[in-house]
């Protein structure tokens, strides 16, 4: 794959080019020389062991006062009371003690600029890595995690690397706020029926019942991010929930939570006429009825008046006959 080949090129020769770019754009001490470059071995069995090995390598690098490249380290971040294991492309430790997250992407920087949407996605991804690193840096007095990450991309239309620092302070604050608002996993588990077990080895019917015991707020966007999205979509559809239509629709409908309630409100059977959502539904239903009624009775709608036949049209009709 092009992305893997590009990443291998960026990290070739002990990360010489990557460290050069980091020093040139972010500083961090004397320029990296071959004798001052270190790439520790981070191999270990399992995510927990890899996380411990990464923490050990970071502590060693902090006392070395040299350039250290951690290739695919393993970090842990507490998410709602449960560890989430993260694997950034690289982390660079500079001689001055600063830690920098490096994100390597295969989309190009053309004339020094890249696709803003892709850069934004990379910034949000990197901000999570920065948060995880900050937890490790608390135990290392000389360490400081940068709030600017290094985004490395192909330059123009070549396979040569170029880079740019990306400020992720905004993404950091948003992510922190989102994490603090999450319901903790122990609290979620306490709300489950006693004896609920989520074990993939269970028979399909038992596992389906166990998953159904966990409340879900489905949205179509879940399909691109969650393996259980199809299960939740089926549940939302079988429950007649408007969430299956998307968050935007759900937000516009206010307290109308099911498709049946929406249709009843539109037909005037239920709902408060003063409710803006109910009023909008009834108006839309009335307009639809007028439009379809005009079509059924043969009445010409103003925007669909029959076009008068011209002489060339008559001639073409005769030729076709």
Q: All domains of the chain, ordered by start, with CATH? A: 2-181 (3.90.320), 194-300 (no CATH)
- What DSSP character marks residue 110? B
Element at 212 (helix H, strand E): helix 204-212
pTM for this prediction: 0.68
Burial of 216 from C-beta contacts in 10 A (0-12 / 13-18 / 19+): middle
- Poorest-pLDDT segment among 109-118, 131-140, 142-151, 210-219: 210-219
Position 217 scores a pLDDT of: 82
- What DSSP character marks residue 173? H
Average pLDDT of 88-117?
95
Tokens, residue 34: 């071959």
pLDDT(14) > 50: yes
Cα distance between residue 126 and residue 117, in whole Å: 14
pLDDT(301) > 50: no
pLDDT(171) > 50: yes
Position 197 scores a pLDDT of: 86
* pLDDT 10s digits, 182-198: 888 888 888 888 888 88
Contact assessment for residue 166 and residue 119, using Cβ atoms and an 8 Å cutoff? yes
Contact assessment for residue 210 and residue 196, using Cβ atoms and an 8 Å cutoff? yes
How many angstroms separate the Cα of 43 from the Cα of each of 40, 48, 127, 245? 9, 12, 24, 45
The share of the chain scoring above pLDDT 90, in percent, equals: 51
Cα distance between residue 125 and residue 144, in whole Å: 19
The share of the chain scoring above pLDDT 70, in percent, equals: 91
pLDDT(298) > 50: no
Q: Which residues make Cβ contacts (< 8 Å) with residue 226, sequence separation at least 6?
A: 232
Position 294 scores a pLDDT of: 57
Cα distance between residue 69 and residue 14, in whole Å: 8
Contact assessment for residue 146 and residue 26, using Cβ atoms and an 8 Å cutoff? yes
- Poorest-pLDDT segment among 157-166, 172-181, 272-281: 272-281
How many helices and strands in the chain, by DSSP H and E? 12, 9
Contact assessment for residue 220 and residue 229, using Cβ atoms and an 8 Å cutoff? no
Position 104 scores a pLDDT of: 97
* pLDDT 10s digits, 197-209: 888 898 988 888 8
Which of the pair, 244 or 75, is modelled with greater confidence? 75
Average pLDDT of 296-319?
45
Average pLDDT of 33-47?
92
- What DSSP character marks residue 35? G
Find tokens 């030729």 and name the residue.
Answer: 319
Cα distance between residue 43 and residue 40, in whole Å: 9
Phi, psi dihedrals of residue 31, rounded to the nearest 5°: -60, 140
pLDDT(299) > 70: no
Position 300 scores a pLDDT of: 41
* pLDDT 10s digits, 103-123: 999 999 999 899 999 999 999
């Amino acid at each position: 794959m092009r992305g893997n080949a590009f990443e291998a090129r960026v990290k070739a020769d002990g990360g010489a080019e990557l460290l050069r770019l980091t020093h040139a754009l972010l500083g961090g001490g004397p320029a990296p020389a071959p004798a001052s470059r270190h790439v520790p071995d981070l191999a270990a069995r399992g995510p927990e062991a890899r996380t411990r090995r990464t923490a050990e390598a970071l502590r060693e690098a902090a006392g070395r006062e040299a350039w250290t490249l951690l290739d695919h380290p393993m970090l842990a971040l507490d998410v709602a009371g449960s560890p989430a294991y993260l694997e950034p492309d690289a982390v660079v430790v500079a001689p001055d003690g600063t830690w920098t997250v490096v994100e390597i992407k295969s989309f190009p920087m053309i004339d020094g600029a890249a696709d803003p949407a892709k850069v934004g996605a990379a910034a949000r991804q990197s901000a999570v890595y920065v948060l995880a690193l900050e937890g490790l840096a608390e135990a290392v007095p000389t360490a400081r995690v940068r709030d600017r990450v290094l985004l490395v991309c192909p330059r123009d239309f070549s396979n040569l690397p170029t880079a740019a620092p990306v400020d992720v302070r905004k993404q950091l604050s948003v992510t922190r706020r989102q994490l603090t608002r999450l319901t903790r996993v122990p609290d979620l588990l306490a709300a489950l029926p006693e004896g609920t077990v989520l074990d993939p080895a269970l028979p399909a019917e038992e596992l389906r019942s166990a998953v159904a015991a966990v409340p879900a707020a489905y949205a179509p966007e879940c399909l691109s991010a969650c393996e259980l999205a199809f299960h939740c979509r089926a549940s939302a559809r079988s429950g007649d929930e408007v969430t299956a239509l998307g968050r935007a629709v759900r937000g516009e409908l206010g307290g109308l939570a099911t498709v049946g309630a929406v249709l009843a409100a539109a037909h005037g059977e239920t709902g408060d006429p003063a409710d803006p959502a109910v009023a909008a539904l009834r108006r839309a239903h009335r307009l639809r009825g007028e439009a379809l009624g005009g079509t059924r009775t043969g009445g010409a709608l103003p925007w669909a008046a029959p076009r008068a036949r011209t002489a060339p049209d008559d001639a073409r009709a005769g030729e076709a006959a």
